[in-house]
Amino acid sequence: MVFNLYRSGIHYAKIYWNEKPALSKQNFYTGEWEQTLPLTEEEDTLLLSLFQLSVLDFFKFYPKLKDFIKTSHSRAEIDGHVYEKFKAGHLIERHKKFPMDIFYDEEGIYACLVPNRESTSLLVAEGKEEKSILREWRHKSYSPASYLMQEKITVKLPMRDKVRLATDIYLPKGKEGALSTILIRTPYNKDAQKNVALPFVCRGFAVVVQDVRGREASEGSWEPFAHEATDGEDSLQWIAAQSWSNQKIGMLGGSYLGFVQWAAASTGSPYLSAMASIVTAGSPFGDLPRRGGSYLSGALPWFSSLTDKNFDPAKMLRDDWAELMVYRPLKKLFKDKLNDDFPYWEEMFEHEAYDEFWARQDWTKEAQNITAPALIISGWFDDPAWPLDPRSQYPA
């Protein structure tokens, strides 16, 4: 039995399922398939981190899912996973952040699909691709996934004040002519975005990924929100000036990676052609870290992960945040309780009212400059406090 593993329509790996599972991955620099090796627990954990899909779990559930399909029951719990018969040929997983939905026909189960934030992962039996979402990804209206990737280029991109930001450039191999570009700006380490970049490069786009000011390999001081408008504008202008650029640039990302898009758009840059903004915060005084002017407790764990130059998500994993928020004065919480130093936290308590400190972080005051079309993705409980005015101004 052979299954093929895809992410957003890009063929990453072949899974061989006999007595022992085995795996062969595609090399996106050469186009060759690597040696087939046993699918170990360690390798499966890596796949889970990249695809939000455990291949070993899929095959573990496989016989139990087949038995459930044959029953008259509409719902079943399988090893702690709740499945429901949604419609003919389709099981959906309930109560799961990244659900593993199942597709089947008269011959049996042929695919599982895992939607996640910026992509969708698909494991599909060989020969059944056209029955899956691949049919949509291969539609003629989409750029075909026909390119390999050149070796990454890393530059230090100068801003208007001479501070240099670490920037990775991914280009498709062998594509002629100027390229449209996807720009991703992140405080969480640009190296972590390679797999986000890959599907776009395979479809013929250039992808530029940048550590924002003061983070990871970039120069400057880390001042959340404050420099994202001008640094974003300078980055767009630099990309537009490159020989490989057609001056059409889109931006992509969620949370802070979405905030930087709106900040850049607020400058009115003519080179920003589109945005895909996912679960994104709005004005720092109206949404995060101040929600309607009140301090948002949920900002504390996030800030704690960003006190060092390198992102440290482990700092968010503690169970006493509610107790810490009772401490007074809050201004001294990082130094007194977390033994950490975060100047931004202390400075924001010096500015109780909206003033210049908050204004220099606030892209919404320049919202009238935004002309780029935007795809806005969110959920009922993700960012309801974001002011709607900038979005309501878009033509229907």
Domain boundaries, the chain: 2-137, 148-285+364-392, 294-353
pLDDT at residue 287 above 70?
yes
Average pLDDT of the residues of the chain = 92
pLDDT in tens, 174-223: 999 999 999 999 999 999 999 999 999 999 999 999 999 999 999 999 99
Q: Is 314 helix (H, G, I), strand (E, B) or coil?
A: helix
Lowest mean pLDDT among 30-34, 242-246, 385-389: 385-389
Asked whether the predicted pLDDT for residue 48 surpasses 90, the reply is yes
What does the pLDDT read at residue 378? 81
Which pair of structure tokens corresponds to residue 94? 């309930």
Binning pLDDT at 50, 70 and 90, where does residue 396 land? very low
**Rounded CA gap, 137 and 145, in Å?**
9
Residues of the chain above pLDDT 70, percent = 96
**Is the backbone of residue 162 left (phi > 0), alpha (psi -120 to 50) or beta?**
left
Cβ distance 260 to 185 under 8 Å?
Answer: yes
Q: Assess whether pLDDT exceeds 90 at residue 321.
A: yes
The domain made up of 148-285+364-392 is a member of CATH 3.40.50.1820: yes
pLDDT in tens, 335-346: 999 999 999 999
Greatest CA span in the chain, whole angstroms? 68
Least confident of 72-76, 333-337, 380-384: 380-384
Residue 355, pLDDT > 80, answer yes
3-state secondary structure of 135: helix
